[in-house]
Structure 1
């Protein structure tokens, strides 16, 4: 499951490169951060999100595919004025 699941998440995100997304990340001690931006690039271990300039102090953030697998990061893609969740669902 481990390596294959991460590869499937990467392949899913590859199809959304350049799309506007909203992410919700757990930052510990009951804190969650919500950010919006553009899925800029995917790499073998991480993906990069370019954040909206006027809303955030940072220009870009990166997260690993394991963050999606463990649900410490939730991604939703804006498509046709709707938010579509990006999740890994095991087929076993």
Structure 2
């Protein structure tokens, strides 16, 4: 991932509508994973609509600093 928030936002803007796998830290030694689609980017956050079957969440938002500080990781599905 790029080294600044501006670069991260530009990279995510290029991939709006793409399938994504998000791994986020949910506490001590717990990691949650979500499959979804990157739907929108805003100046401070980005929105992912989830494809989870069992989950009650239909969308989740993260800040660009979460990526910069490696609290979350994003992998895009390149097979599209």
TM-score, scaled relative to structure 2? 0.91
- How well do the aligned residues superpose, as a CA RMSD in angstroms? 1.5
8 Å contact kept, 2:40–2:46: yes
TM-score, structure 1 as length reference: 0.79
1:1-92 maps to which residues of 2 (within 5 A)? 5-80=4-79
Length, aligned pairs only: 78
Long gaps (5+) in structure 2: none
**Whose relative contact order is higher, 1 or 2, with alpha carbons under 8 Å and at least 6 apart?**
2
Query: Residues of 2 paired with 1:30 and 1:53: CA distance?
Result: 22
SS in structure 1 opposite 2:46? strand
Q: Report the CA distance between 1:35 and its aligned residue.
A: 0.4
The unaligned stretches of length 5 or more in structure 1 are: 82-92
Q: Higher Cα Rg: structure 1 or 2? A: 1
